[in-house]
Amino acid sequence: MRKLKLQIQTSLDGFVAGPNGEGDWLFLSGKNDPEALQQVIAFNVELASSSDTLLMGRKMAGPGFFKHWENVAHNLPDNPWHQMAQLIVNLRKIAFSRSEINLSGRNLEVENGNLATVVQALKEQPGKDILVYGGADFVSSLISLNLIDEYYLIICPVAIGAGLSIFKERKILKLESSIAFKHGKILNKYLPV
């Protein structure tokens, strides 16, 4: 059975975005550390390479997401994120929405069905693992339904004081591994207990 893997960045105080969805704090550390950036990119490429499908909520699947990654993939071969962008552009992408029927984006499908039923069916299909990026409400729903098989939480060395959390109830996780990067971010891999 395919695994559903969550990869998301979080603040020290457990928020994945500011109160209004702000993400300006995500890149405050490591701006001037190319070696640490390469380590983070290498991890992202490895995780994306182990997957053939990317799940996201409707808000995450907005035109900005696709425009950014397609621009990097097609126009910026010297960008350090170029290889990752190529992977994202070519992955099968499924956006879950209760209201939208059509969204535009390369290799993008819109799914309006029952979240638990659809994700369970996807996990039973042949293929590589499934990656989920966000947004916060969508990820929170997956967590509440116990659909996440592996959690890759990148903890940024910044507290933002208030914001959006992906955990809405108590969740006990087992730490599988931890990598500390020189620029202060920590990648923790957790498994559900």
Model confidence at 59, pLDDT cuts 50, 70, 90, reads confident
* Token pair for 160: 């933002």
Q: Domain range holding 111?
A: 4-19+26-168+180-192
Model confidence at 7, pLDDT cuts 50, 70, 90, reads very high
Round to whole Å and give the CA distance between 141 and 147: 9
Residue that has been written with the tokens 């202060």 in this structure: 184
Task: List, in order, residues 6 or more apart from 115 with CB less than 8 Å away.
Answer: 96, 141, 142, 145, 147
* pLDDT for 125: 97
**Strand partners for 6:** 132, 151
Model confidence at 30, pLDDT cuts 50, 70, 90, reads low
In this prediction, residues 130-150 reach a mean pLDDT of 96
Note whether 167 and 14 are within 8 A (CB): yes
- Give how many domains the chain has, as a whole number: 1
* pLDDT for 38: 84
Q: What is the CATH number of the domain that holds 153?
A: 3.40.430.10
Tell me which long-range contacts 74-81 makes (C-beta under 8 A, separation of at least 24). 80/34, 80/37, 80/38, 80/41, 81/41
pTM, 2 dp: 0.93
Residue 32, SS3 per DSSP: coil
In a domain, 54, yes or no: yes
Model confidence at 29, pLDDT cuts 50, 70, 90, reads low
In a domain, 77, yes or no: yes
Q: In this structure, which amino acid lies at residue 112?
A: N
Model confidence at 188, pLDDT cuts 50, 70, 90, reads very high
Q: Which residue has the higher pLDDT, 159 or 41?
A: 159
* pLDDT for 71: 94
Among 134, 127, 126, CA closest to 91: 127
Round to whole Å and give the CA distance between 120 and 2: 9
Round to whole Å and give the CA distance between 174 and 145: 18
* pLDDT for 5: 98
Round to whole Å and give the CA distance between 154 and 151: 10
In a domain, 174, yes or no: no
In a domain, 173, yes or no: no
